[in-house]
Structure 1
Amino acid sequence: MHDNHPSLSGFENVSLEDSYVLDMTVHPGVLTLKLDLLLWPGHPGYRAPLPGERACFRPATVVFTSLRELHWTGQGVVKAAIDASGTADFGSVDSLTTIEDRHRILGDWGEMIVQSDPPSLSVDPTPTT
């Protein structure tokens, strides 16, 4: 498998590797990742960073629906990091690979193997503070 998230519909011109995972929740049939997502030029929500900002970040949500199977290893290995503003994060999404209906999500917080519909990405147009 190779990191193929840029080929997923809606994941163009974003960097999961440079984003921050703020929360992960699992409910029957749904896996949700809350992110502070880095947008690249070319993404519809991109704007040049303001003075003092290092890049264009936006709150975003990745959702895996019709969840049929979930294996999560490495849980609890890494605790949330707290930044200077008091915001907690669990590191980044190091890779998101997809083969048919199986998705492998890897990060500091462990590894998830998910069988579901393709993930969707929604980006909040409000800048992250």
Structure 2
Amino acid sequence: MDITVHPAVLSFRLDLLLLPGHPDYGAALPGDRACFRQATIVFSPVHNLHWTRQSVVKPAINAESGTLDFGSVDFLTRDEDNYRLLGDWGTILLKSSTPSLSIDPSPSPDPNETA
């Protein structure tokens, strides 16, 4: 949904697919086909960052909600404190401490909405 780079910080805002067995797993929300939750992955402190193909990033716009979609994280590898991330938005190579993941709480169902 968003990629943000600030001095010493890289963050990804995304829709995260949770599988059964994950502590935050729950029923799919209306309109979803699986258990998706919004989440943020933060790499900090970032010591080195190289982002290729950044200039070709053109997010899609969701026709219903108007939100941006930069595509998915297709590949993430780690070798000690070196990370490689790949997606439609390009390739990011960085050196950082272990990233943190925060999952938004599941929104409460709208009592006025019918299934």
Q: TM-score range by the shorter chain?
A: 0.7 to 0.9
Q: 1:94 aligns with which of 71, 74, 80?
A: 74
Report the Cα distance in structure 1 between the residues aligned to 2:71 and 2:63, rounded to whole angstroms.
Answer: 15
Report how far residue 27 of structure 1 moved.
Answer: 1.1
Using the TM superposition, name which of 45-54 and 117-126 deviates more: 45-54
Matches within 5 A, 1:103-122: 103-122=83-102
Using the TM superposition, name which of 74-83 and 64-73 deviates more: 74-83
Q: 1:82 aligns with which of 45, 49, 61?
A: 61
Report how far residue 78 of structure 1 moved.
Answer: 3.2
Report the Cα distance in structure 2 between the residues aligned to 1:126 and 1:50, rounded to whole angstroms.
Answer: 9
Q: How many residues align?
A: 107
Report the Cα distance in structure 2 between the residues aligned to 1:125 and 1:52, rounded to whole angstroms.
Answer: 18
Give the TM-score normalised by structure 1.
0.77
Work out which of the two has the higher radius of gyration on C-alpha atoms and give 1 or 2: 2
Matches within 5 A, 1:1-129: 22-50=1-29, 52-85=31-64, 86-127=66-107
Cα-to-partner distance string for 1:40-86 (whole Å, 9 max, x where unaligned): 11111111224532111111000001110000001122300012221
Report how far residue 104 of structure 1 moved.
Answer: 0.1
Report the Cα distance in structure 1 between the residues aligned to 2:42 and 2:30, rounded to whole angstroms.
Answer: 32
Report the Cα distance in structure 2 between the residues aligned to 1:53 and 1:35, rounded to whole angstroms.
Answer: 15
Using the TM superposition, name which of 101-110 and 32-41 deviates more: 32-41
Percent of paired sites with the same residue:
63
Instruction: Using CA pairs under 8 Å that are at least 6 residues apart, name the structure with larger relative contact order, 1 or 2.
Output: 1
Tell me the secondary structure at the aligned position of residue 76 of structure 1: helix
Report the Cα distance in structure 1 between the residues aligned to 2:46 and 2:105, rounded to whole angstroms.
Answer: 27
Q: Which amino acid in structure 2 is aligned with residue 119 of structure 1?
A: P
